[in-house]
Chain A
């Protein structure tokens, strides 16, 4: 139990750091675009490749918070039917959903990881600045890996609460 708690604590810390990373990159993305606008209109010298850097940054901003969002139950879902079910049945449904989520996030994490390898081999890079694409595909893969681990944690929690209720009864 203690091992589980400390593992969870460390894991949640990693998720929070990833989430905070996405907020920092969001700030950088904003400043980069503002700088490009100012340099273009005031000094007539736009930032070279700011568009492609923004695209790369968007991947980090958008995906690094996925697990964070999952942990706080913020992803969009439709509660209208299942919320009317008895608590126990709701937990069963949630367990089923988390199993699907484990599958989906694991699939995307592994496939984007392989994609990063392919992109690296092919030497895909941005058109202007020649920034390689693969590190950003890896960030996307890492984010889905975090989501995969989060869904396993949520699944374990749901199953444990089901089992403990059964034992209580």
Chain B
């Protein structure tokens, strides 16, 4: 059997194991180990199983993972979501659909301190949904804008999706963070336009809220300046080359703790919960990374990725058709699989193809993360839908119907990002 055939069989077995509900990281280790043993011998496979789970974790850049997670969890535990919502509400709440727009803007702001989509959806759901219902908003619009807005969490930096992509593809995490910024802001704009159009068509969906005075508008900002300054410090530090991603993560986490302490919002219990949650999520990601690297070693000796890239390079089709195919692939995959699993499982095959067709890896990182965001709000999985439905006690079906206009906006947004790569690449090019 040729190494390539062994590689294909290995991939099929791994997918079967994953659908059998085995942990994704463990499935990758099993297939990686056995496949490597078949191709290179047991002795080498045993060495890999002893070295990779240590050597791939004892890497400086990986330590930014727990630090950014901690920053996000501390921020969400201490009520920044409510403050952001309050500010956005004061500024735009009085226009038709204004509370929904405020929610979307606040989710964008929350995403700037929290790299996780589900945490963003859950935090905003608790804060924004009761307010919108109080003002007579349609449940579908209210739930839809929160679920969709929550998905921005992995596009606006800091983003765990970009960190994993950068680790696996050896791309600059700082550049990836910067690349996600403008597309993330544009996503907020697209969702706001969607809400505006919906409320113009049917004003009963989102009646305007009470008007705030200029004084109220400016005084609302005082609660968020701390966290927003922290965001500017963290991202500005990376952009200007003052901090490495790990240093930025540490400064961000430390700053979030200090700001919450000064504001009297970080209790001992909340601090404990934040640390415990961070440690658990980190362990979960570490198992995935270990599995991915064992699996990568197997793929390298199977020569499957190079065969795939040679095949794609030899195809007589337009580069844009290939890109469209890859986008559709990720849109579908995102509907079924967890985003971290998607990144770690598919990149070993997809990345060589991306290089072969000459796509910019930073740009592709943005497109890939953006496509998988859509998966967070589409059936049958739609993680954000389920989380939000549980938080706001609204049937899953209602949330699904509510996000449909936003999914349509997502398609236009992705098309724009593909058509104008500079939207993603301009900011990192100035670093």
Contact = CB atoms under 8 A, between A and B. Distances in A.
A78 interface: yes
A136 to B, nearest CB: 7
Interface stretch (B93-101, B169-177, B250-258): B250-258
A81 B275 CA distance: 33
Contact of A81 (B19, B254, B340): B19
Interface in B53-94: 53-54, 57-60, 62-63, 66-67, 70
Interface in B218-257: 242-243, 246-247, 249-251, 253-254
Contact of A19 (B25, B279, B337, B380): B279
A100 interface: yes
B336 A78 contact: yes
Tell me the dominant secondary structure on chain A's binding face.
Answer: helix
B58 A101 contact: no
B53 A112 contact: yes
B283 A34 contact: no
A58 B67 CA distance: 10
Interface in B359-380: 380
B116 to A, nearest CB: 13
Given A61-B279, A78-B338, A29 B287 contact: no
A54 B23 CA distance: 28
Contacts of B58: 55-56, 58-59, 136
Nearest to B51: A115
Nearest to B344: A76
A101 B26 CA distance: 7
Majority DSSP secondary structure for residues of B touching A: helix
- 6 closest A-B pairs (Cβ-Cβ)? A111-B50, A65-B283, A33-B250, A62-B286, A115-B50, A82-B21
A29 B338 CA distance: 28
A75 to B, nearest CB: 4
16 contacts: A26-B282, A30-B67, A37-B250, A54-B246, A58-B58, A58-B59, A58-B62, A64-B279, A75-B25, A76-B288, A76-B341, A77-B21, A97-B21, A104-B26, A104-B29, A115-B51
Nearest to A79: B21
A65 B60 CA distance: 19
Interface of B: 17-26, 29-30, 33, 46-47, 49-51, 53-54, 57-60, 62-63, 66-67, 70, 242-243, 246-247, 249-251, 253-254, 275-276, 278-288, 290, 336-338, 340-341, 380-381
B57 A23 contact: no
A34 B254 contact: yes
Contacts of B290: 108
Interface string A30-72: 1111101100010000000001001111110111111011001
A26 B74 CA distance: 14
A58 B341 contact: no
A76 B23 contact: yes
Contact of A115 (B54, B276, B279, B337): B54
B328 to A, nearest CB: 19
Nearest to B278: A26
Contact of B280 (A41, A55, A65, A82): A65
Nearest to B67: A30
Contacts of B21: 77-79, 81-83, 93-94, 97
B23 A77 contact: yes
A107 B70 contact: no
B18 A78 contact: yes
A72 B281 CA distance: 11
A30 B46 CA distance: 34
Contacts of B247: 33, 36-37
Contact of A63 (B19, B25, B283): B283
Interface string A98-112: 001101100110011
B26 A30 contact: no
A82 B20 contact: yes
A61 B419 CA distance: 42
Contacts of A20: 276
A20 B50 CA distance: 25
Given A33-B246, A33-B247, A37-B250, A23 B59 contact: no
B70 A26 contact: yes
B63 A57 contact: yes
A108 B53 contact: yes
Nearest to B237: A37
Contact of A68 (B50, B51, B62, B280): B280
Nearest to A25: B279
B279 A37 contact: no
B60 A54 contact: yes
Given A104-B30, A108-B53, A140-B54, A26 B251 contact: no
B46 A100 contact: no
B26 A62 contact: no
Given A68-B279, A80-B380, A33 B67 contact: yes
Contacts of B285: 62
A27 interface: yes
A163 B30 CA distance: 28
Contacts of A30: 67, 70, 250, 253-254
A61 B62 CA distance: 11
A22 B279 contact: yes
A14 to B, nearest CB: 15
B57 A62 contact: yes
Contacts of A31: 254
Given A23-B278, A94-B21, A62 B62 contact: yes
